[in-house]
Structure 1
Amino acid sequence: MSNNLLFDFTVDKTAKTVFITREFASKLPLVWDAFTKPEILDQWVAPKPWTSKTKYMNFEVGGKRFYAMVSPEGQERWSIQEYTSITPKTNFKMHNAFADKDENPELPGSEWDYNFSELNGITKVSIAIYNESLTRLEKMIEMGFKEGFTMSIDNLEKLLASQ
Protein backbone atom coordinates (compact mmCIF):
# COMPACT_ATOMS: atom_id res chain seq x y z
CA MET A 1 0.00 0.00 0.00
CA SER A 2 1.24 3.43 -0.89
CA ASN A 3 0.96 6.28 1.58
CA ASN A 4 1.27 8.97 -1.09
CA LEU A 5 -2.15 8.24 -2.59
CA LEU A 6 -4.74 10.97 -2.15
CA PHE A 7 -7.52 10.56 0.40
CA ASP A 8 -9.69 13.57 1.11
CA PHE A 9 -12.92 13.57 3.14
CA THR A 10 -14.76 16.89 3.45
CA VAL A 11 -18.14 17.63 5.01
CA ASP A 12 -19.96 20.72 3.73
CA LYS A 13 -22.95 21.23 6.02
CA THR A 14 -24.16 24.25 4.03
CA ALA A 15 -24.45 22.09 0.90
CA LYS A 16 -25.58 19.04 2.97
CA THR A 17 -22.88 17.11 1.09
CA VAL A 18 -19.90 14.90 1.87
CA PHE A 19 -17.09 15.00 -0.69
CA ILE A 20 -14.65 12.09 -0.83
CA THR A 21 -11.69 11.70 -3.17
CA ARG A 22 -9.49 8.60 -3.07
CA GLU A 23 -6.72 7.33 -5.32
CA PHE A 24 -5.84 3.66 -5.83
CA ALA A 25 -2.67 2.18 -7.33
CA SER A 26 -4.77 0.05 -9.68
CA LYS A 27 -6.11 0.23 -13.21
CA LEU A 28 -9.54 1.79 -13.69
CA PRO A 29 -11.33 -1.43 -14.84
CA LEU A 30 -10.39 -3.19 -11.58
CA VAL A 31 -11.54 -0.27 -9.43
CA TRP A 32 -14.77 0.13 -11.44
CA ASP A 33 -15.55 -3.57 -10.97
CA ALA A 34 -14.90 -3.28 -7.23
CA PHE A 35 -17.66 -0.67 -6.99
CA THR A 36 -20.12 -2.27 -9.41
CA LYS A 37 -19.99 -6.07 -8.96
CA PRO A 38 -21.68 -7.51 -5.86
CA GLU A 39 -19.26 -10.41 -5.44
CA ILE A 40 -16.40 -7.90 -5.15
CA LEU A 41 -18.33 -5.23 -3.20
CA ASP A 42 -19.18 -7.76 -0.49
CA GLN A 43 -15.46 -8.44 0.03
CA TRP A 44 -14.57 -4.89 1.06
CA VAL A 45 -17.47 -2.50 1.61
CA ALA A 46 -18.18 -3.34 5.28
CA PRO A 47 -15.85 -1.99 7.96
CA LYS A 48 -14.40 -4.91 9.89
CA PRO A 49 -15.54 -6.81 11.90
CA TRP A 50 -18.82 -6.27 10.01
CA THR A 51 -19.47 -8.06 6.72
CA SER A 52 -21.59 -7.19 3.69
CA LYS A 53 -24.30 -9.46 2.30
CA THR A 54 -25.90 -8.54 -1.04
CA LYS A 55 -29.35 -10.08 -1.47
CA TYR A 56 -29.54 -8.87 -5.09
CA MET A 57 -27.97 -6.29 -7.36
CA ASN A 58 -28.97 -5.17 -10.85
CA PHE A 59 -26.36 -2.65 -11.95
CA GLU A 60 -28.37 -0.84 -14.63
CA VAL A 61 -30.31 2.42 -14.73
CA GLY A 62 -33.43 1.79 -12.63
CA GLY A 63 -31.81 -1.30 -11.12
CA LYS A 64 -31.23 -1.79 -7.41
CA ARG A 65 -28.84 -3.27 -4.89
CA PHE A 66 -30.40 -4.55 -1.68
CA TYR A 67 -27.83 -5.49 0.92
CA ALA A 68 -27.10 -5.70 4.61
CA MET A 69 -24.16 -4.83 6.79
CA VAL A 70 -23.95 -7.74 9.24
CA SER A 71 -22.43 -7.43 12.71
CA PRO A 72 -20.33 -10.23 14.24
CA GLU A 73 -23.41 -11.04 16.38
CA GLY A 74 -25.58 -11.40 13.26
CA GLN A 75 -27.42 -8.06 13.50
CA GLU A 76 -28.39 -6.89 9.99
CA ARG A 77 -28.58 -3.25 8.90
CA TRP A 78 -30.25 -3.17 5.47
CA SER A 79 -29.91 -0.55 2.72
CA ILE A 80 -31.36 -0.16 -0.73
CA GLN A 81 -29.64 1.62 -3.59
CA GLU A 82 -31.31 2.59 -6.86
CA TYR A 83 -29.08 3.37 -9.83
CA THR A 84 -30.20 6.56 -11.58
CA SER A 85 -27.40 7.06 -14.12
CA ILE A 86 -24.51 4.94 -15.44
CA THR A 87 -21.72 5.92 -17.82
CA PRO A 88 -19.48 2.81 -17.92
CA LYS A 89 -16.03 3.18 -16.36
CA THR A 90 -16.62 6.92 -15.83
CA ASN A 91 -19.59 7.68 -13.57
CA PHE A 92 -22.61 6.27 -11.83
CA LYS A 93 -25.24 7.83 -9.60
CA MET A 94 -27.59 6.24 -7.12
CA HIS A 95 -30.11 7.01 -4.42
CA ASN A 96 -29.25 5.31 -1.15
CA ALA A 97 -31.55 4.76 1.83
CA PHE A 98 -31.56 2.60 4.92
CA ALA A 99 -34.32 0.01 4.78
CA ASP A 100 -35.92 -2.79 6.74
CA LYS A 101 -35.50 -6.46 5.80
CA ASP A 102 -38.63 -6.20 3.61
CA GLU A 103 -37.11 -3.43 1.44
CA ASN A 104 -39.17 -0.58 2.91
CA PRO A 105 -36.87 2.48 2.74
CA GLU A 106 -36.31 4.85 5.64
CA LEU A 107 -36.55 8.24 3.98
CA PRO A 108 -34.99 10.69 3.49
CA GLY A 109 -32.02 9.12 1.78
CA SER A 110 -28.96 10.46 0.01
CA GLU A 111 -27.81 10.89 -3.57
CA TRP A 112 -24.38 9.42 -4.38
CA ASP A 113 -22.41 10.57 -7.44
CA TYR A 114 -19.29 8.51 -8.25
CA ASN A 115 -16.68 9.69 -10.78
CA PHE A 116 -13.75 7.54 -11.95
CA SER A 117 -10.60 8.57 -13.83
CA GLU A 118 -7.16 7.06 -14.39
CA LEU A 119 -3.77 8.64 -14.97
CA ASN A 120 -0.49 6.69 -15.14
CA GLY A 121 -1.97 3.58 -13.52
CA ILE A 122 -3.50 5.52 -10.60
CA THR A 123 -7.29 5.50 -10.49
CA LYS A 124 -9.06 8.38 -8.76
CA VAL A 125 -12.56 7.95 -7.38
CA SER A 126 -14.45 11.12 -6.46
CA ILE A 127 -17.73 10.74 -4.58
CA ALA A 128 -20.26 13.43 -3.69
CA ILE A 129 -22.97 12.37 -1.22
CA TYR A 130 -25.86 14.83 -1.08
CA ASN A 131 -28.28 14.43 1.82
CA GLU A 132 -31.87 15.55 1.54
CA SER A 133 -31.70 16.96 5.05
CA LEU A 134 -29.02 18.43 7.30
CA THR A 135 -30.36 16.24 10.11
CA ARG A 136 -29.65 13.11 8.07
CA LEU A 137 -26.14 14.34 7.20
CA GLU A 138 -25.38 15.06 10.86
CA LYS A 139 -26.77 11.66 11.92
CA MET A 140 -24.60 9.93 9.29
CA ILE A 141 -21.49 11.72 10.60
CA GLU A 142 -22.40 11.02 14.26
CA MET A 143 -22.84 7.32 13.44
CA GLY A 144 -19.16 7.20 12.46
CA PHE A 145 -19.53 7.35 8.69
CA LYS A 146 -16.04 8.79 8.12
CA GLU A 147 -14.36 6.16 10.26
CA GLY A 148 -16.39 3.31 8.76
CA PHE A 149 -15.90 4.53 5.19
CA THR A 150 -12.15 4.91 5.78
CA MET A 151 -11.95 1.30 7.06
CA SER A 152 -13.91 0.08 4.03
CA ILE A 153 -11.65 1.95 1.60
CA ASP A 154 -8.61 0.45 3.34
CA ASN A 155 -10.19 -2.99 2.81
CA LEU A 156 -10.56 -2.14 -0.88
CA GLU A 157 -6.95 -1.00 -1.16
CA LYS A 158 -5.76 -4.34 0.30
CA LEU A 159 -8.08 -6.29 -2.02
CA LEU A 160 -6.84 -4.39 -5.09
CA ALA A 161 -3.20 -4.90 -4.05
CA SER A 162 -3.82 -8.66 -3.98
CA GLN A 163 -5.15 -8.73 -7.58
Structure 2
Amino acid sequence: MTEHAKIHHAKTAATDRDLVLTRLIDAPPEAVYRCWTDPELLVKWFAPRPWTTPRATLDVRPGGASSVVMADEAGTEYPNPGQYLEVVPNRRLVFTDAFTGDWTPSEKPFFTCILTFEPENGKTRYTALARHWTVEDRQAHEKMGFHEGWGLCAAQLEEVARGIQG
Protein backbone atom coordinates (compact mmCIF):
# COMPACT_ATOMS: atom_id res chain seq x y z
CA MET A 1 0.00 0.00 0.00
CA THR A 2 1.40 3.39 -0.96
CA GLU A 3 1.92 6.06 1.67
CA HIS A 4 -0.94 8.12 0.19
CA ALA A 5 -3.24 5.09 0.27
CA LYS A 6 -2.28 4.45 3.91
CA ILE A 7 -3.01 8.04 4.84
CA HIS A 8 -6.33 7.99 2.98
CA HIS A 9 -7.21 4.63 4.57
CA ALA A 10 -6.56 6.03 8.03
CA LYS A 11 -8.84 8.98 7.28
CA THR A 12 -11.63 6.91 5.73
CA ALA A 13 -11.81 3.57 7.53
CA ALA A 14 -14.24 4.31 10.33
CA THR A 15 -14.17 0.85 11.88
CA ASP A 16 -12.05 -2.30 12.04
CA ARG A 17 -14.58 -3.80 9.61
CA ASP A 18 -13.61 -1.48 6.72
CA LEU A 19 -11.36 -1.93 3.72
CA VAL A 20 -10.68 1.12 1.56
CA LEU A 21 -9.26 1.63 -1.90
CA THR A 22 -8.73 5.07 -3.42
CA ARG A 23 -7.34 6.06 -6.80
CA LEU A 24 -7.08 9.18 -8.91
CA ILE A 25 -8.67 8.13 -12.19
CA ASP A 26 -7.88 10.05 -15.37
CA ALA A 27 -11.51 10.52 -16.39
CA PRO A 28 -14.32 12.79 -15.19
CA PRO A 29 -16.71 11.58 -12.46
CA GLU A 30 -19.55 11.27 -14.98
CA ALA A 31 -17.60 8.69 -16.99
CA VAL A 32 -16.48 6.72 -13.92
CA TYR A 33 -20.02 6.71 -12.52
CA ARG A 34 -21.39 5.58 -15.89
CA CYS A 35 -18.97 2.64 -15.86
CA TRP A 36 -20.54 1.55 -12.57
CA THR A 37 -24.17 2.06 -13.67
CA ASP A 38 -24.28 1.00 -17.34
CA PRO A 39 -24.25 -2.83 -17.53
CA GLU A 40 -22.68 -2.78 -21.02
CA LEU A 41 -19.71 -0.87 -19.60
CA LEU A 42 -19.54 -2.65 -16.24
CA VAL A 43 -18.98 -6.06 -17.85
CA LYS A 44 -15.86 -4.69 -19.58
CA TRP A 45 -13.92 -4.00 -16.37
CA PHE A 46 -15.60 -5.42 -13.24
CA ALA A 47 -13.63 -8.67 -12.73
CA PRO A 48 -9.83 -8.68 -12.44
CA ARG A 49 -8.40 -10.19 -15.62
CA PRO A 50 -8.12 -12.99 -16.59
CA TRP A 51 -11.54 -13.38 -14.92
CA THR A 52 -14.52 -11.99 -16.85
CA THR A 53 -17.96 -10.57 -16.18
CA PRO A 54 -20.32 -12.43 -18.54
CA ARG A 55 -23.40 -10.43 -17.54
CA ALA A 56 -24.77 -7.72 -15.30
CA THR A 57 -28.30 -6.52 -14.60
CA LEU A 58 -28.56 -3.19 -12.78
CA ASP A 59 -31.67 -1.43 -11.49
CA VAL A 60 -29.89 1.72 -10.32
CA ARG A 61 -32.27 3.22 -7.75
CA PRO A 62 -32.57 2.91 -3.97
CA GLY A 63 -34.09 -0.54 -3.43
CA GLY A 64 -33.17 -1.65 -6.97
CA ALA A 65 -31.48 -5.00 -7.51
CA SER A 66 -28.08 -5.58 -9.00
CA SER A 67 -26.84 -8.90 -10.29
CA VAL A 68 -23.24 -9.10 -11.46
CA VAL A 69 -21.85 -12.46 -12.51
CA MET A 70 -18.09 -13.01 -12.54
CA ALA A 71 -16.42 -16.05 -14.13
CA ASP A 72 -12.98 -17.57 -13.54
CA GLU A 73 -10.67 -18.84 -16.29
CA ALA A 74 -12.46 -22.22 -16.36
CA GLY A 75 -15.82 -20.50 -16.88
CA THR A 76 -17.13 -21.21 -13.38
CA GLU A 77 -19.59 -18.45 -12.59
CA TYR A 78 -19.88 -16.54 -9.32
CA PRO A 79 -23.11 -14.55 -9.03
CA ASN A 80 -23.09 -11.42 -6.90
CA PRO A 81 -26.65 -10.31 -6.12
CA GLY A 82 -27.22 -7.08 -4.27
CA GLN A 83 -29.27 -3.95 -3.84
CA TYR A 84 -28.66 -0.23 -4.15
CA LEU A 85 -29.20 1.76 -0.96
CA GLU A 86 -28.23 5.24 -2.16
CA VAL A 87 -27.78 6.70 -5.63
CA VAL A 88 -26.40 10.21 -6.15
CA PRO A 89 -25.69 10.49 -9.89
CA ASN A 90 -22.02 11.08 -10.73
CA ARG A 91 -21.03 11.39 -7.04
CA ARG A 92 -21.98 8.39 -4.87
CA LEU A 93 -23.30 4.83 -5.03
CA VAL A 94 -24.04 2.68 -2.01
CA PHE A 95 -24.95 -0.98 -2.43
CA THR A 96 -25.05 -4.09 -0.30
CA ASP A 97 -25.37 -7.83 -0.55
CA ALA A 98 -27.57 -7.83 2.57
CA PHE A 99 -30.58 -7.50 0.25
CA THR A 100 -31.15 -8.84 -3.25
CA GLY A 101 -33.57 -6.19 -4.51
CA ASP A 102 -36.75 -4.52 -3.26
CA TRP A 103 -35.64 -5.18 0.31
CA THR A 104 -35.55 -8.97 0.07
CA PRO A 105 -32.99 -10.20 2.63
CA SER A 106 -30.07 -12.27 1.38
CA GLU A 107 -28.99 -15.52 3.01
CA LYS A 108 -25.65 -14.26 4.31
CA PRO A 109 -24.79 -10.55 4.27
CA PHE A 110 -21.08 -9.90 3.76
CA PHE A 111 -20.55 -6.19 3.11
CA THR A 112 -21.88 -2.82 2.05
CA CYS A 113 -19.91 -0.79 -0.48
CA ILE A 114 -19.78 3.00 -0.49
CA LEU A 115 -18.38 4.41 -3.73
CA THR A 116 -17.56 8.08 -4.16
CA PHE A 117 -16.59 9.92 -7.33
CA GLU A 118 -15.08 13.31 -6.44
CA PRO A 119 -13.92 15.76 -9.12
CA GLU A 120 -10.23 16.61 -8.80
CA ASN A 121 -8.46 18.72 -11.45
CA GLY A 122 -10.40 17.22 -14.35
CA LYS A 123 -10.03 13.71 -12.98
CA THR A 124 -11.90 11.62 -10.41
CA ARG A 125 -10.87 10.81 -6.85
CA TYR A 126 -12.43 7.34 -6.75
CA THR A 127 -12.91 5.76 -3.34
CA ALA A 128 -14.38 2.34 -2.62
CA LEU A 129 -15.11 1.66 1.03
CA ALA A 130 -16.10 -1.93 1.79
CA ARG A 131 -17.80 -2.08 5.19
CA HIS A 132 -18.19 -5.65 6.42
CA TRP A 133 -20.70 -7.10 8.85
CA THR A 134 -17.95 -8.62 11.00
CA VAL A 135 -14.20 -8.29 11.52
CA GLU A 136 -13.91 -11.90 10.33
CA ASP A 137 -15.65 -10.99 7.06
CA ARG A 138 -13.25 -8.06 6.60
CA GLN A 139 -10.28 -10.32 7.23
CA ALA A 140 -11.62 -12.91 4.78
CA HIS A 141 -12.13 -10.22 2.11
CA GLU A 142 -8.61 -8.93 2.68
CA LYS A 143 -7.20 -12.47 2.35
CA MET A 144 -9.20 -12.93 -0.88
CA GLY A 145 -7.06 -10.10 -2.25
CA PHE A 146 -9.31 -7.06 -1.83
CA HIS A 147 -6.57 -4.47 -2.43
CA GLU A 148 -4.95 -6.33 -5.31
CA GLY A 149 -8.22 -7.31 -7.01
CA TRP A 150 -10.01 -4.00 -6.53
CA GLY A 151 -6.80 -2.22 -7.56
CA LEU A 152 -6.64 -4.18 -10.83
CA CYS A 153 -10.32 -3.47 -11.42
CA ALA A 154 -9.78 0.25 -10.77
CA ALA A 155 -7.11 0.28 -13.51
CA GLN A 156 -9.51 -1.54 -15.86
CA LEU A 157 -12.28 0.89 -14.87
CA GLU A 158 -9.99 3.79 -15.78
CA GLU A 159 -9.30 2.26 -19.21
CA VAL A 160 -13.02 1.99 -19.96
CA ALA A 161 -13.89 5.43 -18.50
CA ARG A 162 -11.16 7.12 -20.56
CA GLY A 163 -12.53 5.43 -23.68
CA ILE A 164 -16.02 6.91 -23.26
CA GLN A 165 -14.97 10.52 -22.73
CA GLY A 166 -15.97 13.17 -25.23
Q: Is residue 128 of structure 1 aligned with residue 148 of structure 2?
A: no
TM-score by length of 2: 0.81
Conserved 8 A contact 2:21-2:151: no
Number of residues of Structure 1 aligned to a counterpart in Structure 2? 155
Structure 2 residues without counterparts, runs of 5 or longer: none
TM-score by length of 1: 0.83
The equivalent of 2:25 in structure 1 is: 24
Q: How does 1:109-128 map to 2 (within 5 A)?
A: 109-128=110-129
Following the alignment from structure 1 to structure 2, what is the Cα–Cα distance between the partners of residues 126 and 57? 20
Aligned-residue identity in percent? 23
Q: Which digits, 9 at most, give the CA deviation of each residue in 1:9-40, with x for residues without a partner?
A: 64859530012211111112111101111111
Following the alignment from structure 1 to structure 2, what is the Cα–Cα distance between the partners of residues 153 and 42? 13
The DSSP-based 3-state class of the residue aligned with 1:124 is strand
Q: How does 1:139-158 map to 2 (within 5 A)?
A: 139-158=140-159
In the TM superposition, residue 129 of structure 1 has moved relative to its aligned partner by 1.3
Which one has a larger percent helix, Structure 1 or Structure 2?
A: 2
Following the alignment from structure 1 to structure 2, what is the Cα–Cα distance between the partners of residues 7 and 161? 23
The equivalent of 2:47 in structure 1 is: 46
The equivalent of 1:65 in structure 2 is: 66
The equivalent of 1:93 in structure 2 is: 94
The equivalent of 1:8 in structure 2 is: 5
The DSSP-based 3-state class of the residue aligned with 1:108 is coil
Conserved 8 A contact 1:108-1:133: no
The DSSP-based 3-state class of the residue aligned with 1:47 is coil
Following the alignment from structure 2 to structure 1, what is the Cα–Cα distance between the partners of residues 83 and 4? 26
